[in-house]
């Protein structure tokens, strides 16, 4: 019998495109935006101190609400059944309107997106040594240390507009910093291989952008418990590790706020994070139309007018989940910044921090090494080769199938090819290409 070897993994990609949301992206209410607020060694964390990768809080209630029933604080702290979510309106149910993060009340809805857990070992016990000269924890970094630089940043992605944004940045030769949230906006998790997100994160890295954390599900870190804050950070670390092989040391708190009085600063210091805020908030999330995005442009222009490249620097806050930010505002910021004599850099670069310090090795807790950076390049080349091989193999298989059976065109993915091979009397072998992703 004929043997067909496919020199690649076949990955089915899903493109998320929510009906009725493509024009403006998620609105401020969905994201919880009510406005914006403008050296040593740490010991490894003890597992008992962290609720990482843990189930939702057990409130000690015997009663579990059914779909359509009330839940949450307005219902006497009643929780929904195991397969249900508690919506922002306090009703049990399923689907995006009930389960979407950050709106879903995850303490009362076990199936809320925020309660999902990434695969693999949690990162709780990873050592957290400090390295480099950038402030760890504290009140947060709001501007670059190098005058004449602009760090353009994007929160809440990746999303359905992020690939186009990467094209724009690449065309302009501008690096950016992406503060990533894993499971917001019903997107399924950044390490979910049935989505485009893993490939988008790898492209961010390979294009020279900086990848940083924006928590697991975009909860306000001042409003949750210490255990829940650890959960928000550790689960995001696990997802990053699953895609990149390491996780960031830089983060931005949702809503640009992390208060020491709430315990937030202390927790992020314990976890070994640089807290990055901004000194220019474009308010892009409040200016979602072609007309109103001019307000965001004016905010940026006014900030530049009040500065001088010889002495000033800016960290600019945007969101890549809004189309006007991607297709309109970004090019304006780039053109205006360059015209005023500024240079665009990642946050890490504009703070003078070596690239290796931007990420932590989950095996040692140290900054990633030069060897890991070389492996980045090698793995990216392997990925390109594998995709090309996958396309060629798929084309060959489809050609064979078409000549043998018209019904075979309805089959896709590895299971479909195996089934097709059996019908044709072939032995189909799927050979996975292994990557070392650091």
Bridge-partner residues for 93, per DSSP?
85
CA angle 114, 115, 118 (to 5 degrees): 95
Q: List the Cα angle 154/247/330 in 5-degree steps.
A: 15
Is 312 in contact with 149 (CB distance < 8 Å)? no
Provide the terminal-to-terminal Cα distance of the chain, rounded to the nearest Å. 40
Retrieve residue 157's tokens.
Answer: 């992605």
Instruction: Quote the CA–CA distance of 70 and 234 in Å, as a whole number.
Output: 31
Element (H, E) at 347: helix 347-350
Catalytic residue among 209, 319, 320, 349: 319
Backbone angles phi, psi at 360, to 5 degrees: -115, 135
319 is catalytic: yes
Phi-psi region of 4 (alpha: psi -120 to 50; beta: other; left: phi over 0): beta
CA dihedral 168, 172, 175, 177 (to 10 degrees): -30
Q: Closest Cα to residue 206, out of 2, 35, 438?
A: 438
* φ, ψ (nearest 5 deg) of residue 355: -55, -40
One of 69, 100, 155, 281 is an active-site residue; which one?
155
The DSSP 8-state label assigned to residue 328 in this structure reads I
* CB 141 within 8 Å of CB 135: yes
Per the annotation, the verdict on 69 as an active-site residue is no
The neighbouring-strand residues paired with 319 are 155
CA–CA dist 17, 430 (Å, integer): 31
**What is the DSSP code string of 21-50?**
-TTT-S-HHHHT-S------EEPPPPGGG-
Q: Which of 219, 242, 233, 244 is nearest to 272 (CA)?
A: 233
- Cβ-contact 315, 278 below 8 angstroms: yes
d(CA 391, CA 124): 39
Q: Which residue has the tokens 């992703």?
A: 437
400-431 burial, b at 16+ Cβ within 10 Å, e below that, comes to bbeeeeeebeebeeeeebeebbeebebebebe
- Quote the CA–CA distance of 78 and 90 in Å, as a whole number: 10
Catalytic residues: 155, 319
């Amino acid at each position: 019998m004929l043997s067909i070897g496919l020199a690649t993994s076949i990955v089915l990609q899903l493109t998320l495109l929510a009906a009725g949301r493509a024009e403006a992206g998620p609105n401020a209410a969905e994201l919880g935006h009510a406005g914006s607020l403008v050296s040593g060694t740490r010991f490894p964390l003890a597992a008992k101190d962290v609720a990482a990768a843990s189930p939702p809080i057990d409130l000690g209630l015997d009663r579990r609400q059914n779909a359509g029933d009330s839940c949450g604080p307005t219902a006497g702290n009643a929780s929904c059944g195991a397969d249900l979510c508690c919506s922002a309106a306090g009703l049990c149910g399923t689907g995006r309107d009930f389960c979407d993060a950050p709106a879903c009340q995850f303490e009362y809805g076990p199936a809320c997106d925020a309660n999902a857990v990434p695969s693999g070992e949690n990162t709780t016990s990873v050592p957290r040594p400090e390295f480099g000269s950038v402030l760890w924890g504290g009140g947060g970094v709001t501007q670059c240390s190098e005058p004449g630089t602009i760090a353009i940043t994007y929160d809440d992605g990746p999303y359905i507009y992020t690939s186009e944004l990467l094209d724009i940045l690449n065309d302009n030769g501008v690096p950016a910093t992406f503060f990533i949230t894993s499971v917001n906006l019903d997107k399924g998790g950044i390490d979910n291989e049935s989505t485009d997100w893993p490939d988008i994160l790898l492209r961010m890295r390979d294009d020279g952008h900086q990848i940083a954390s924006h928590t697991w599900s975009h909860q306000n870190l001042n409003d949750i418990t210490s255990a829940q804050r650890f959960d928000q950070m550790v689960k995001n670390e696990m997802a990053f590790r699953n895609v990149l092989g390491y996780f960031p040391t830089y983060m931005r708190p949702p809503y640009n706020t992390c208060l020491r009085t709430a315990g937030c600063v202390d927790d992020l210091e314990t976890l070994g994070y640089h807290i990055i805020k901004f000194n220019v908030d474009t308010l892009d999330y409040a200016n979602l139309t072609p007309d109103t995005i001019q307000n965001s442009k004016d905010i940026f222009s006014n900030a530049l007018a009040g500065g001088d490249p010889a002495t000033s620097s800016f960290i600019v806050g945007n969101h890549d989940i809004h189309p006007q930010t991607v297709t309109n505002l970004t090019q304006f910021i780039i053109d205006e910044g360059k015209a005023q004599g500024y240079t665009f850099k990642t946050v890490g670069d504009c703070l003078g921090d070596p690239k290796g310090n931007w990420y932590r090795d989950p095996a040692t807790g140290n900054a990633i090494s030069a060897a890991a950076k070389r492996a980045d390049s090698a793995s990216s080349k392997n990925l390109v080769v594998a995709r090309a091989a996958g396309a060629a193999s798929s084309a060959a298989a489809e050609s064979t199938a078409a000549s043998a059976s018209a019904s075979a065109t309805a089959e896709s993915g590895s299971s479909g090819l195996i089934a097709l091979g059996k019908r044709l009397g072939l032995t189909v072998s799927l050979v996975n290409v292994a990557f070392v992703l650091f």
